[in-house]
Chain A
Amino acid sequence: MPRELTQNRIQKIWVPTKDDRRRGGAPHFANPPTVIVMVGLPARGKTYMSRKLTRYLNWIGMPTKVFNVGEYRREAVKNYSSYDFFKPDNECAVKIRQQCALAALRDVRSYLKDEGGQVAVFDATNTTRERRDMILKFGEENDFKIFFIESVCDDPSVIASNIMEVKVSCPDYRDCNKTEAMLDFQKRIECYKKSYQPLDPDRYDRDLSFIKVIDVGRRFLVNRIQDHIQSKIVYYLMNIHVQPRTIYLCRHGESTDNLKGRLGGDAGLSPHGKQFSSALARFVEEQQLKDLKVWTSQLCRSIQTAEHLGVPYEQWKALNEIDAGVCEEMTYDEVKEKLPEEFALRDEDKYYYRYPAGESYQDLVQRVEPVIMELERQENVLVICHQAVMRCLLAYFLDKSADEMPYLKCPLHTVLKLTPVAYGCKVESISLNVEAVNTHRERPEEVKRGPGTLIRRNSVTPLTSPESNIKKPRIDDLDEAPIQELPPSVSALALCSPSHIPLTLPGQNLMSSPGRHDILQPCQ
């Protein structure tokens, strides 16, 4: 007899009645956990790629964490003196560095076996065969798949630029000036060069799975992709770039439905919405960008907003607002009145909650993923979309978890300007000073958490890239004086736990903002 099926209340997924766990909601592709092993000389972008990849994998629902051996070393050796530490004949240091790598691997194992992790990114130079063989053995012993990402680059200007961007301000160099730091770092690189054995696809490493990223993505060598996740990782790495550029996210102008407090629908702009669109056109012009791409959804209010810009724009159905199913065009009060249980369920678990015959934020993430991939390929882009969609995109750029995503503040008539910087993204929130209704519903105070809200292993839940195991100075409030260990420039660079970054973007007081607020919101 086939098993009885019920539709689980939050996700609306049909499951055998006896089994009420929260479901993946999407096929699981990762079975044995995977360790991604970075390889390359210092200043080749390993940490940059590690963090970006981790952010992407977490966003698509694959629990991933970075293990940066340099951080373990900084814990073990409180004060970095000079590049001498990295000399191959410095026996004492070599021992310490070996211990650090082993400690990191122990944490990798525990993350993948006991903490529900699916992918661990082992971020270190891993430049010798000896070290890599050790890691391969570790993988075999624990039944982990191993995938190497090697970054090869010999362009001195790229290296110098990397050093300036992320190394001179790193904790190792807090007592040095920039020139000193640069010189020391270059000598550090020399220490590694002699013993560097790049991956050898023709002989020694021909049976390994890896990608060699050459000259910042000009060229790739891909060997033996084993599975779905490695294929996606390769595709992602081939689409990202490091050209400076800016992404602008905003919602359509206020719509007539917004005025009535109605969800969804396909209404046109209200008079204020039209005002915003003109203001947006002026704003875009003032930004003086070369080659700005403009993307909209296929809903009227988004297209109408773009029309005011007087430039070509592309319509993406994938950018349409979340489908509220049977609740489309109702007000929240009407939903509460007609479907009180659904209303309560949504507040219980807003990320997973799927409107009857509609979508959930989880569905949105899947829908919007090709947009993210194309955003990575592009340079300057303005995306004119919708509240829930914008929250999804923002969560990707700012590394916000599934739990936070549905409550990110994306008010009408405000442009978020995102600029990649160092390992993360700078956000500026710019209100264009046109009145609009507030469509944001806060997370209710008393929310009954039903069963099945535990995050399960392999469940498809965007997580914030977890902070490392190493005790890092915590910065509870960005206005507070930074803790002594870090120079002021570094505290701005997102070494703090993402969960400490306030969800409210300052300056979003819609009714009375006297002007633009260019707030620097550093975040991972």
Chain B
Amino acid sequence: GSSVPQFCNSPTMIVMVGLPARGKTYISKKLTRYLNWIGVPTKMFNVGQYRREAVKIYKNFEFFKPDNEEAMKIRKACAAAALKDVALYFTKEQGQVAVFDATNTTRERRAIILSFAMEMGYKVFFVESICDDPEIIAENIKQVKFGSPDYADRDIDEAMEDFIQRIDCYRASYMPIDDEKDRKLSYIKIFDVGSRYLVNRVQDHIQSRIVYYLMNIHVTPRSIYLSRHGESELNLLGRIGGDTGLSPRGQKYASALATFIKGQKISDLKVWTSHMKRTVQTAEALGVQYEQWKALNEIDAGVCEELTYEEIQENFPEEFALRDQDKYRYRYPKGESYEDLVHRLEPVIMELERQENVLVICHQAVMRCLLAYFLDKPADELPYLRCPLHTVLKLTPIAYGCKVESFFLNIEAVNTHRERPMNVNVSRKTEEALQTVPDHI
């Protein structure tokens, strides 16, 4: 089981709608990443990829001309193949949500999808992106289309020219979702990159969450800085959890962080900490306003709070082994699991999406959760992501993902990263359990 009720019964298909370069794939990828992170198994099906598989070499926009019968056949077949894979994902892979990323600009195509879904018992939720601002379109094309395999051998101007004509091929037959004719459908229309939304017939919890998420994301350039607190007294002793203050080196890091941040010359930086002394102390050195979030507190290690790994092995060897077996789902007795952490952090992620430049000063497990969200890391990798002390990670959204830059601020600190040991069996020997424990006093 999980710590949050599962609200999805019928699987849901999210069907993107819109002319090319309207952000459908951007939205699809981001939404998929978000849903997976909160624990809803989601997969994206991009029909363009099926087309690239079927037609190895893309020549030019003529492929997309509505009167190109040969191409039409192929494109229809690709859509059908994608739908088949959607069905397989739901039935064989326990998927919960499938994001069907294609233009889906004709009523005919949408009718096919609707009848497929009805037959299979899937819910359908449309996400239509409408935008006529030529600057935004041009920017989208530059950001993602030039890097596409379709234009690998083209120069920028050629690619732009071709893509614009590609869009024109769709335009004539584009029938947006209609307020009257489609009044029974469930959908959200996004206008001008989020300036306005039209939401119709939200059926259930997951659709409501999707709408909320879509209404909170934006595309304004910004950077998110993630850092742990400076080295703490307990860190030095190899003890987990607790609420101590910074060690002398931790204090140095706090000052170094202040210098680093000033050097970044960020406009309007928001600074967030947890409620624990070590993050608050670190923020204090910055000399700027900061907000404290209880949700950013380190994972609660329950009965293991303030113990060293050696002590955990001595007192709770079975628990210690179980944790190594499934570090994501394992919940400390009277404490939390990484899975619990993710749910606790969801409002933080939502607000991070709304914000622009933010520095989050948090803790190892918390930072792993946040990082996994931004870098789309699955649950089994999340608890082993490297988030060393005294290192700032700078995340900047680009194209469909996130660029990461790592800055070690040159102040020594203990290593707190414990890799998964080879033997995770409850019957293992002490040395095997402690094989990967980092050094401490």
| CB–CB B197/A238 < 8 A | no
CA distance A487 to B281 in the complex (A): 61
| CB–CB A218/B275 < 8 A | no
Given contacts A26-B294, A235-B212, A317-B340, are A14 and B201 in contact (CB under 8 A)? no
CA distance A377 to B196 in the complex (A): 24
User: A48: shortest Cβ distance to chain B, in Å?
Assistant: 19
**Across the interface, which residues of A come within 8 angstroms of B173, CB to CB?**
none
User: A224: shortest Cβ distance to chain B, in Å?
Assistant: 6
Given contacts A2-B254, A5-B277, A26-B293, are A219 and B200 in contact (CB under 8 A)? yes
Given contacts A2-B285, A5-B280, A328-B334, are A222 and B3 in contact (CB under 8 A)? no
CA distance A93 to B276 in the complex (A): 60
Q: Which of B251, B284, B294 has the most CB of A within 10 A?
A: B294
Chain A interface main SS type: mixed
Partner of A27, one of B7, B196, B245, B291: B291
**Across the interface, which residues of B come within 8 angstroms of A231, CB to CB?**
212, 215-216, 354
**Across the interface, which residues of B come within 8 angstroms of A516, CB to CB?**
none
**Across the interface, which residues of B come within 8 angstroms of A235, CB to CB?**
208, 212, 215
Partner of A220, one of B199, B281, B343: B199
**Across the interface, which residues of B come within 8 angstroms of A7, CB to CB?**
277
Q: Which residue of B lies closest to A234 (CB)?
A: B215
| CB–CB B199/A315 < 8 A | no
**Interface hits, B1-56 → A, CB 8 Å:** 1, 3-7
Q: Which residue of B lies closest to A23 (CB)?
A: B292
Chain B interface main SS type: mixed
Partner of B284, one of A2, A220, A298, A363: A2
B272, CB-defined interface residue at 8 Å: yes
Partner of B272, one of A5, A27, A314: A27
Q: Which residue of A lies closest to B200 (CB)?
A: A219
Q: Which residue of B lies closest to A230 (CB)?
A: B215
| CB–CB B205/A377 < 8 A | yes
B351, CB-defined interface residue at 8 Å: yes
| CB–CB B251/A228 < 8 A | no
| CB–CB B3/A317 < 8 A | yes
User: B258: shortest Cβ distance to chain A, in Å?
Assistant: 9
User: A241: shortest Cβ distance to chain B, in Å?
Assistant: 10
User: A368: shortest Cβ distance to chain B, in Å?
Assistant: 13
| CB–CB B211/A238 < 8 A | yes
User: A6: shortest Cβ distance to chain B, in Å?
Assistant: 10
A311, CB-defined interface residue at 8 Å: no
A13, CB-defined interface residue at 8 Å: yes
A28, CB-defined interface residue at 8 Å: yes
| CB–CB B251/A2 < 8 A | yes
A80, CB-defined interface residue at 8 Å: no
**Across the interface, which residues of B come within 8 angstroms of A222, CB to CB?**
196-199, 215
Interface size on A, residues (CB 8 A): 43
Given contacts A218-B200, A222-B197, A223-B196, are A317 and B208 in contact (CB under 8 A)? no
A283, CB-defined interface residue at 8 Å: no
Given contacts A26-B293, A27-B292, are A219 and B198 in contact (CB under 8 A)? yes
| CB–CB B294/A366 < 8 A | yes
User: A477: shortest Cβ distance to chain B, in Å?
Assistant: 40
User: B170: shortest Cβ distance to chain A, in Å?
Assistant: 24
**Across the interface, which residues of A come within 8 angstroms of B216, CB to CB?**
231
Q: Which residue of A lies closest to B1 (CB)?
A: A315
**Across the interface, which residues of B come within 8 angstroms of A12, CB to CB?**
275
Interface size on B, residues (CB 8 A): 43
**Interface hits, B332-358 → A, CB 8 Å:** 334, 340, 343, 351, 354
Q: Which of B7, B197, B340 has the most CB of A within 10 A?
A: B197
**Interface hits, B354-396 → A, CB 8 Å:** 354
User: B278: shortest Cβ distance to chain A, in Å?
Assistant: 9
Given contacts A14-B275, A219-B199, are A374 and B205 in contact (CB under 8 A)? yes
User: B9: shortest Cβ distance to chain A, in Å?
Assistant: 11
A316, CB-defined interface residue at 8 Å: yes
B410, CB-defined interface residue at 8 Å: no
Q: Which residue of B lies closest to A7 (CB)?
A: B277
Interface digits, A234-248 against B, CB 8 Å rule (1 contact, 0 not)? 110011000000000
User: A257: shortest Cβ distance to chain B, in Å?
Assistant: 14
CA distance A266 to B291 in the complex (A): 33
| CB–CB A314/B205 < 8 A | no
User: B75: shortest Cβ distance to chain A, in Å?
Assistant: 32
Partner of A28, one of B4, B201, B281, B291: B291
Partner of A317, one of B202, B294, B343: B343
Q: Which of B208, B245, B293 has the most CB of A within 10 A?
A: B208
**Interface hits, B297-321 → A, CB 8 Å:** 305
**Interface hits, B268-287 → A, CB 8 Å:** 272, 275-277, 280-281, 284-285
B68, CB-defined interface residue at 8 Å: no
A72, CB-defined interface residue at 8 Å: no
A340, CB-defined interface residue at 8 Å: no
CA distance A5 to B281 in the complex (A): 7
| CB–CB A238/B280 < 8 A | no
| CB–CB B202/A14 < 8 A | no
B195, CB-defined interface residue at 8 Å: yes
| CB–CB B208/A238 < 8 A | yes
Interface digits, A190-231 against B, CB 8 Å rule (1 contact, 0 not)? 000000000001000000000000000011111111001001
A144, CB-defined interface residue at 8 Å: no
A88, CB-defined interface residue at 8 Å: no
A471, CB-defined interface residue at 8 Å: no
Given contacts A25-B294, A315-B5, are A16 and B284 in contact (CB under 8 A)? yes
User: B283: shortest Cβ distance to chain A, in Å?
Assistant: 9
| CB–CB A221/B5 < 8 A | no
Interface digits, A12-26 against B, CB 8 Å rule (1 contact, 0 not)? 111010000001011
**Across the interface, which residues of A come within 8 angstroms of B305, CB to CB?**
357
CA distance A219 to B182 in the complex (A): 12
| CB–CB A223/B354 < 8 A | no
**Interface hits, A323-366 → B, CB 8 Å:** 328, 357, 363, 366
CA distance A316 to B281 in the complex (A): 34
**Across the interface, which residues of A come within 8 angstroms of B245, CB to CB?**
5
CA distance A317 to B295 in the complex (A): 15
**Across the interface, which residues of A come within 8 angstroms of B197, CB to CB?**
220-222
Q: Which residue of A lies closest to B346 (CB)?
A: A370
**Across the interface, which residues of A come within 8 angstroms of B251, CB to CB?**
2
Q: Which residue of A lies closest to B189 (CB)?
A: A221
CA distance A351 to B280 in the complex (A): 23
Other 17 A-B pairs with CB < 8 A, given A2-B285, A295-B5, A377-B205: A2-B254, A5-B281, A5-B284, A7-B277, A23-B292, A28-B291, A219-B198, A222-B199, A231-B215, A238-B212, A239-B208, A315-B1, A315-B3, A317-B4, A318-B3, A374-B7, A374-B205
Q: Which 4 A-B pairs have the closest CB atoms?
A: A314-B5, A317-B3, A27-B291, A2-B284
Task: Give the interface of B toward A (CB within 8 A).
Answer: 1, 3-7, 195-202, 205, 208, 211-212, 215-216, 243, 245, 251, 254, 272, 275-277, 280-281, 284-285, 291-295, 305, 334, 340, 343, 351, 354
Q: Could you write out 19 A-B pairs with CB less than 8 Å apart?
A: A2-B284, A3-B284, A5-B280, A5-B281, A12-B275, A16-B284, A25-B294, A219-B199, A221-B199, A222-B215, A224-B195, A225-B215, A228-B354, A231-B215, A235-B215, A295-B5, A317-B3, A357-B305, A366-B294
